[in-house]
Amino acid sequence: MSGWIKIHRKILQWEWFKEPNVFNIFIYLLLKANHKDQKWRGLNIKKGQLITGRIKIAKETGISEQSVRTCLNKLKSTNEITIKSTNKYSVITICNYETYQELEINSNQQFNQQLTSNQPTTNQQLTTNKNEKNEKNEKNEKNIKEIIYRKKFIPPTIEEVKSYVSEKSYFLNIDKFFAFYESNGWMVGKNKMKCWKAAIKTWHFNNKPDQIKKEKPRFG
């Protein structure tokens, strides 16, 4: 496997940066993910996806299988990845892979093509091209920052909702909560939901006091 990946300096402020195993697993996934759509045993494995399993990841990273499981769950909880599992393998998708891996690559390719087809013939042309490159780099830097701060909302599974409600000991009807938002496309009013965990918290505190005393968390 050859090539490279792009990592922005903003990763220093990432919430998992100080957890070595989580950080190492995420970098490993970035390095192993497809950089273009491919076929695998009749399946379409898209850009930003990889076929793998906990045992394989543990073997190639030197991290225990149990720690790999924990790290993957943490990355899922913050919408860094999604996992679709079968009894033989898992398809891991890195959320927003195409956006933050391709933005600068495409820009650099376009710039290199310009240099090849339009070689500068005077010092004035060299200065102009240099200034244009600086402006493009500044624009790309701004776009990348906006992407870092703008996360795409990924609806949770009902299992994730159950796990979170159990962890926080919240009081709400899980089936009712999940069915309500799934039926309306995970909208809050006229806007797309930004954080399903915050919505669960709101539902919990909107329960009437007598309901909170009597009702226990429901799991299906």
**Which DSSP letter does residue 16 get?**
T
In the three-class reduction of DSSP (H, G, I as helix; E, B as strand; rest coil), residue 199 is classed as helix
* Amino acid 220: pLDDT: 46
Lowest mean pLDDT among 121-130, 147-156, 167-176: 121-130
* Amino acid 62: pLDDT: 93
The residue ranges of DSSP E strands in the chain, in sequence order, are: 38-40, 43-45, 49-52, 81-85, 90-94, 187-188, 191-192
164 close to 200: Cβ distance less than 8 angstroms: yes
* Amino acid 59: pLDDT: 92
90 pLDDT band, cuts 50/70/90, is confident
Name the residue with higher pLDDT: 124 or 52.
Answer: 52
pLDDT above 70 for 87: yes
Domain limits, the chain: 9-97, 158-214
* Amino acid 99: pLDDT: 63
154 close to 82: Cβ distance less than 8 angstroms: yes
Identify which of 184, 161, 160, 135 has the alpha carbon closest to the alpha carbon of residue 72: 160
113 close to 73: Cβ distance less than 8 angstroms: no
pTM assigned to the model: 0.45
93 close to 48: Cβ distance less than 8 angstroms: yes
Name the residue with higher pLDDT: 98 or 102.
Answer: 98
218 close to 175: Cβ distance less than 8 angstroms: yes
Q: Which residues contact 45 (CB under 8 A, 6 or more apart)?
A: 34, 37, 38, 39, 51, 91
pLDDT above 90 for 71: yes
Nearest 5°: phi and psi at 112? -65, -35
Nearest 5°: phi and psi at 138? -65, -40
Which CATH number is associated with domain 9-97?
Answer: 1.10.10.10
Tell me which range, 75-79, 94-98, 149-153, 214-218, is most confidently predicted by mean pLDDT: 75-79
pLDDT above 70 for 108: no
Identify which of 63, 44, 41 has the alpha carbon closest to the alpha carbon of residue 54: 63
Angstrom distance (rounded) from CA 167 to CA 164 = 5
19 close to 78: Cβ distance less than 8 angstroms: no
144 close to 8: Cβ distance less than 8 angstroms: yes
State the chain's mean pLDDT as an integer.
78
In the three-class reduction of DSSP (H, G, I as helix; E, B as strand; rest coil), residue 3 is classed as coil
pLDDT above 60 for 38: yes
**Letter for the amino acid at 19?**
E
* Amino acid 128: pLDDT: 66
